[in-house]
């Protein structure tokens, strides 16, 4: 890889083209945009988790100087079209569909539910206006957890459903489940829980909606992972034709799954702009972000494991319950992905999986970096619990159970082939990087001195994009499109539906296209964030490395062929004899023949060429993922647990990963480290906490703690040699893996540190207070 990097951009840590603006304060985030006549929105929110709305009086707010309008839920319903959640509809959801309004009308369903919106000349005045809105409520019993939600006696959060079931109970069986359990040497039962935590991008949700009555066009400046999904959501709810909605996006301050489509607040802002004929800006504050933007996880698992005396994991039988919060989000769809991924890279021959999704009076479930990650947490936790009971080493039990790499590849019991999976290699590499026997000696010495060190190991695979199924019609992630054009100044422009929000696509896609087309890196421009010029796309699911990297490669190849074909007329040479090098078209071996690609484009635009010559130097490329493949790897942590204070320090963190061929190692490593940091936060710090009345208790950064520079250690990363599956495109996604596997890695290390106390851990959130409880023998919360 390093040898190639010297000659090619692809594979080298090219400095980011995003950075000159970002480092100098010249980035353009939604809140930085000021439109003429722009107004500002602020929301009145429910103080109750569950209640009937008896009356909403916005008249005093409307009288306040500087306030231009104030809308109730009923006002908004008259201005919009009812319908299902656009994202759920787009994803083809067929299950229970709650009916809801943009702002609460009949009921409030979480503390922070928007009840009214005030539009004013400044945000300060809009918030003043909110103070003057009077709302009367009749409190209802809050549904604050999944077990109460699924009790037939709980009050339905959505009247049209009649119960609190977001996804009805279902059960699947793969392999011979009853026979496997009947024949097993040992059967274990575990209850394992994952707590509620959340994305917390540094920039919260934000939008400016600007309706132009003359053209009937709604322009939305959005912070979104997909301008097109936002466009569809706005058009649906406002009852507009899709081509009358244009969504623009510039720099976005992170998302991690939060900003997909358009939230109820953003749709209300769009409706207000159309009503007023003026631009309206809304930027959520941190309190709104922490309490109402969306939260994730909060899942419980009952796990039965069939195991041989030698430590072979023969079968699992899993019951999953997920708390999806109050309004429709993707929570109801998560169990099916958890089910499909549960076997991981292991030779698991039988899996029973049942699941239910509950509706509660809490913030809506949103995607958060590896939404299905609990399958890895539960599986890697269960393996350690079994290993402890059998007296096996964590490395040994994993190596014992990993599916061998065979041809044809082993197949997960849930159906997908484990093609090119390098889990065994990653475990063996970890064992080389971290001297386990030496650690055990140090651990024993430390224990003798009253210090508790622990080592944790966990492994994962991620379908980024996943393997091509034998006989499958197309790749596992659908199609990715890109438009590529050679401009008259020699710039190769890539129009992509990816909407980067930290992933560095403007750098990485340019690297690939520059190599493939034959121009300097600086001569490639990646255009994003405008529904009127970019094709459909979404940044999410770790899809862009393979799907967009792949379409950039194939698209650049197609554009190059088109340019050479035109140049062959211009240069009176066969296209096969031409090449593009360093931005110049030339007859191979004849430097004197060189013409700059910009000159070729200008000649094409001039119209001065013979009949029958195709001078259209633009292509629409699509890519289906090719042969695809898995991302994956193993992580190892060494922790130091202070048993007096409960404080956990991560002393060392080592990653051995395989995300295919690297496009830009520094970008890849940034994605891994960022994900690991969020995983460390999830275990040691972060929890979206609620009291028994359903009030969110983590509404500030003093209550919802995210990791700081003192909490995250240096993270050592080793890139494994990958198994190429495709002739051209072996880049694989790396966005989610760190967050998927870091939580079990850290928890496994903590349990190892506390093994002298006989501690067994069945949960993911381990702040100091909980560590002390575990040492004192307190049972699991889950």
Q: What three-state secondary structure class fits 24?
A: coil
CA distance 217 to 228: 15
| 678 is a site residue for other proteins (CB under 8 A) | yes
Site stretch for other proteins (CB under 8 A), options 85-93, 201-209, 261-269, 559-567? 201-209
As measured in angstroms, the least distance from the Cβ of 633 to other proteins is: 16
Strands (E), 253-401: 280-283, 296-307, 313-323, 350-358
Quick check: 702 and 677 in contact, CB under 8 A?
A: no
Site stretch for other proteins (CB under 8 A), options 56-64, 247-255, 594-602, 638-646? 247-255
As measured in angstroms, the least distance from the Cβ of 717 to other proteins is: 10
Name which position in 397, 667, 729, 775 contacts other proteins (CB under 8 A): 667
Site stretch for other proteins (CB under 8 A), options 13-21, 74-82, 108-116, 404-412? 13-21
CA distance 345 to 340: 12
As measured in angstroms, the least distance from the Cβ of 238 to other proteins is: 29
| 748 is a site residue for other proteins (CB under 8 A) | no
Residues 6+ apart with CB under 8 A from 407: none
Residue corresponding to tokens 């963190």: 653
| 364 is a site residue for other proteins (CB under 8 A) | no
Scan residues 284-303 and list those touching other proteins (CB under 8 A).
285-286
| 4 is a site residue for other proteins (CB under 8 A) | no
Token pair for 320:
């999953």
* Contact map string, positions 252 to 281, toward other proteins, x by CB under 8 A: xxx-x-------------------------
CA distance 152 to 192: 24
Burial of 159 (0-12, 13-18, 19+ CB in 10 A): exposed
Residues 6+ apart with CB under 8 A from 166: 95, 96, 324, 328, 331, 332, 357, 358, 359
Site stretch for other proteins (CB under 8 A), options 235-243, 424-432, 465-473, 667-675? 667-675
Nearer to other proteins (CB atom), residue 438 or residue 709? 709
CA distance 748 to 459: 11
- CA dihedral for 119, 120, 126, 129, sign (positive or negative): negative
| 203 is a site residue for other proteins (CB under 8 A) | yes
| 729 is a site residue for other proteins (CB under 8 A) | no
Name which position in 141, 156, 670, 767 contacts other proteins (CB under 8 A): 670
CA distance 311 to 185: 10
CA distance 180 to 305: 10
Name which position in 5, 8, 16, 77 contacts other proteins (CB under 8 A): 16
Q: What is the DSSP string of 194-254?
A: EEEE----SS--EEEEEEETTTTEEEEEE--S-HHHHHHHHHHHHT--GGGEEEE------
Residue among 493, 506, 505, 497 at smallest CA distance from 545: 505
Dihedral (Cα; 517, 518, 519, 520), 10-degree rounding: 120
| 673 is a site residue for other proteins (CB under 8 A) | yes
Nearer to other proteins (CB atom), residue 31 or residue 77? 31
Nearer to other proteins (CB atom), residue 156 or residue 253? 253
Name which position in 201, 257, 329, 633 contacts other proteins (CB under 8 A): 201
Quick check: 343 and 317 in contact, CB under 8 A?
A: no
Strands 715-719 and 648-658: parallel
- CA dihedral for 382, 340, 372, 93, sign (positive or negative): negative
| 592 is a site residue for other proteins (CB under 8 A) | no
Task: Kindly state the number of chain residues that form the binding site for other proteins, as judged by CB under 8 A.
Answer: 53
* Contact map string, positions 395 to 434, toward other proteins, x by CB under 8 A: ----------------------------------------
Scan residues 479-518 and list those touching other proteins (CB under 8 A).
501-504
| 89 is a site residue for other proteins (CB under 8 A) | no
| 368 is a site residue for other proteins (CB under 8 A) | no
| 200 is a site residue for other proteins (CB under 8 A) | yes
| 712 is a site residue for other proteins (CB under 8 A) | yes
Scan residues 106-165 and list those touching other proteins (CB under 8 A).
124
Nearer to other proteins (CB atom), residue 239 or residue 701? 701
| 522 is a site residue for other proteins (CB under 8 A) | no
Token pair for 764:
């993911």
Nearer to other proteins (CB atom), residue 215 or residue 708? 708
- Site for other proteins, rule CB under 8 A: 13, 15-16, 18-29, 31-32, 34, 124, 200-203, 251-254, 256, 285-286, 501-504, 666-667, 670, 673-674, 676-678, 700-702, 706-710, 712, 714-715
């Amino acid at each position: 890889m390093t040898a190639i990097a010297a000659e090619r951009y692809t594979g080298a840590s090219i400095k980011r083209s995003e950075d000159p603006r970002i480092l100098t304060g010249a980035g353009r985030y939604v809140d930085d945009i000021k439109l003429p006549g722009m107004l500002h929105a602020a929301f009145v929110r429910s103080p109750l988790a569950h209640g009937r709305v008896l009356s909403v009086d916005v008249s005093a707010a409307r009288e306040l100087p500087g306030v231009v309008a104030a809308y109730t839920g009923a006002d908004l319903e008259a201005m919009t079209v009812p319908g299902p959640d656009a994202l759920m509809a787009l994803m083809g959801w067929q299950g229970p569909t709650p009916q809801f309004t943009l702002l609460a009308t009949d009921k409030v369903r979480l503390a922070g539910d928007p009840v009214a919106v005030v539009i004013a000349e400044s945000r300060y005045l809009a918030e003043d206006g909110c103070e003057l809105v009077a709302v009367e409520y009749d409190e209802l019993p809050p549904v604050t957890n999944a077990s109460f939600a699924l009790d037939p006696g709980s009050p339905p959060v959505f009247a049209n459903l009649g119960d609190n079931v977001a996804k009805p109970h279902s059960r699947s069986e793969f392999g011979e489940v009853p026979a496997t359990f009947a024949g097993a040497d040992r059967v274990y039962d575990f209850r394992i829980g994952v707590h509620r935590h959340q994305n917390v991008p540094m920039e919260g949700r934000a939008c400016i909606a600007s309706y132009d009555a003359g053209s009937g066009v709604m322009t939305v400046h959005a912070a979104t992972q997909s301008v097109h999904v936002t466009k569809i959501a706005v058009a649906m709810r406002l009852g507009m034709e899709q081509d009358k909605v244009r969504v623009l996006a510039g720099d976005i301050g992170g998302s991690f799954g939060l900003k997909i489509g358009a939230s109820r607040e953003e749709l209300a802002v769009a409706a207000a702009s159309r009503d007023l004929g003026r631009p309206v800006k809304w930027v959520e504050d941190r309190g709104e972000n922490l309490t109402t933007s969306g939260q994730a996880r909060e899942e419980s698992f009952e796990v039965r494991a069939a195991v041989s005396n030698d430590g072979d994991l023969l079968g699992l039988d899993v019951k999953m319950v997920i708390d999806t919060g109050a309004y429709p989000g993707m929570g109801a769809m998560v169990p099916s992905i958890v089910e499909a991924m549960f076997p991981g890279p292991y030779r698991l021959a039988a899996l029973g999986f049942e699941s239910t999704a509950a509706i509660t009076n809490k913030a809506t479930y949103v995607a958060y970096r590896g939404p299905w990650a609990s399958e890895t947490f539960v599986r890697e936790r269960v393996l350690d619990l079994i290993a402890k009971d059998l007296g096996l080493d964590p490395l040994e039990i994993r190596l014992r159970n990993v599916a061998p790499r065979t041809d044809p590849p082993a197949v997960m019991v849930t159906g997908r082939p484990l093609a090119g999976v390098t889990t065994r290699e990653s475990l063996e590499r970890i064992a080389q990087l971290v001297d386990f026997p030496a650690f055990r000696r140090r651990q024993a010495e430390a224990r003798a001195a009253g210090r508790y060190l622990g080592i944790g190991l966990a492994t994962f695979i991620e379908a980024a994009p996943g393997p091509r199924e034998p006989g499958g019609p197309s790749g596992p992630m659908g199609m990715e499109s890109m438009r590529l054009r050679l401009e008259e100044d020699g710039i190769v422009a890539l129009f992509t539906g990816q909407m980067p929000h930290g992933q560095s696509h403007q750098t990485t896609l340019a690297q690939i296209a520059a190599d493939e087309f034959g121009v300097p890196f600086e001569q490639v421009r990646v255009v994003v964030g405008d529904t009127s010029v970019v094709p459909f796309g979404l940044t999410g699911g770790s899809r862009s490395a393979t799907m967009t990297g792949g379409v950039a490669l194939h698209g650049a190849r197609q554009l190059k062929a088109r340019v050479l074909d035109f140049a062959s007329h211009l240069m009176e040479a066969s296209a096969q004899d031409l090449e593009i090098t360093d931005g110049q078209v030339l007859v191979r071996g004849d430097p004197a023949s060189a013409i700059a690609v910009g000159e070729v484009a200008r000649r094409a635009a001039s119209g001065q060429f013979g009949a029958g010559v195709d001078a259209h130097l633009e292509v629409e490329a699509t890519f289906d993922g090719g042969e695809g493949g898995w991302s994956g790897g193993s992580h190892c942590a060494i922790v130091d647990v202070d048993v007096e204070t409960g404080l956990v320090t991560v002393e060392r963190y080592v990653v051995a990963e395989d995300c295919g061929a690297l496009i830009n190692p520094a970008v890849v490593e940034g994605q891994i480290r960022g994900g690991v940091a969020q995983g460390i936060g999830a275990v040691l710090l972060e929890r979206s906490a609620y009291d028994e009345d359903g009030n969110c208790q983590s509404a500030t950064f003093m209550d919802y703690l995210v990791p700081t520079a003192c909490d995250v250690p240096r993270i050592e990363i080793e890139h494994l040699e990958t198994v190429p599956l495709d002739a051209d495109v072996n880049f694989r996604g790396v966005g989610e893996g760190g967050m998927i596997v870091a939580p079990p890695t850290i928890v496994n290390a903590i349990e190892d540190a506390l093994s002298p106390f006989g501690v067994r851990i069945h949960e993911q959130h381990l702040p100091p207070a909980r560590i002390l409880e575990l040492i004192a023998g307190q049972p699991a919360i889950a």
